[in-house]
Amino acid sequence: MDGLREFLFDLKRQDYARENFPGVLNVLIGRQVKAHNGVLVSNGVTWRVLAEWLKKVRWHKEAVRQLGLDPAKLPPRDRLRFWYTAISQAHVDSPEGIKAGDRLAQALASAGYAVVPPGA
C-alpha cells in the first residue's frame, strides 16, 4: 500500500486531480493503476481503505464540493467518517463517475501511469 500513498501524494503534488475528484474516486475504487515501471499501485480499494488514505494524506476536504456535497454537512470531527460518507454519496459507478475516471486516466497516462479500464 506504500505505492498508493505515493500515488495520492503525486496526484496532489502534480494537480492531476484538482478539478476531478470524482475521477480520483472512480479510478482508485474500480480500476487497476500501475506506475511507469510496471509496479502495481492499486488493484482497486474499498471505500473504507480509500477513506483511510484520504485522511492520512490530508486530502483537501473542499474537494467534496465537486461531488455536490457541502463539507459543513459531513461529520466534522471524524475525518475517516467524513471521507467515508462523501465516498458513499459520490455515485462512483455512475456514467458521470466513469467519464470522470476516464478523464483522469488520460491525464495519468501522460504522467506515466497505466490505468486499466473497469471490466478489462
pTM for this structure? Answer: 0.91
Domain parsing of the chain, residue ranges: 2-116
pLDDT one-digit tens code per residue, 19-31: 899 999 999 999 9
Q: Output the pLDDT for position 54.
A: 95
d(CA 33, CA 66): 22
Comparing CA positions, the residue from 51, 37, 48, 39 lying closest to residue 8 is 51
Binning pLDDT at 50, 70 and 90, where does residue 13 land?
Answer: confident
The whole-number average pLDDT for the span 87-103 is: 94
pLDDT for 38 beyond 80? yes
The whole-number average pLDDT for the span 98-117 is: 92
d(CA 17, CA 63): 9
pLDDT for 1 beyond 60? no
The whole-number average pLDDT for the span 35-57 is: 93
